[in-house]
Amino acid sequence: MVQILYNSAEIMENLVDSSASETDGWLSLRQASGRLGISPATLRGWADKGRVQSYRTPGGHRRFRVEEGGIETKPRRSDTRWRVLEHSALGRLNLTHVQSGMTPVNAEWIAMEREWIQLLVRGLKNPKEDWTRADALGQTLAKFNWRNGRTWRETFEWFGMFRNAFLESVVEFAFGMGEPDVDELNLWLRRANEIIDRVWISMLEYRAEDEKPNARKR
Domain limit, last residue, from 71, 96, 131:
71
Residues 167 and 115 in one domain: yes
pLDDT of residue 160: 92
> Is the full-model pTM beyond 0.75?
no
Residues 145 and 185 in one domain: yes
Mean pLDDT per 10-residue segment, the chain (218 residues)? 39 43 67 80 77 71 67 54 86 84 78 92 82 88 87 89 93 77 88 94 74 44
Residues 65 and 47 in one domain: yes
Residues 59 and 101 in one domain: no
pLDDT of residue 217: 40
pLDDT of residue 50: 67
Q: How far apart are CA 180 and CA 75, in angstroms?
A: 19
Count of domains for the chain: 2
pLDDT of residue 14: 47
Do the beta carbons of residue 30 and residue 40 sit within 8 Å? Answer: yes
pLDDT of residue 195: 94
Q: How far apart are CA 32 and CA 43, in angstroms?
A: 8
Task: State which residues form the domain around 161.
Answer: 78-217
CATH of the domain at 146: 1.10.490
Domain limit, last residue, from 15, 48, 71:
71
pLDDT of residue 192: 94
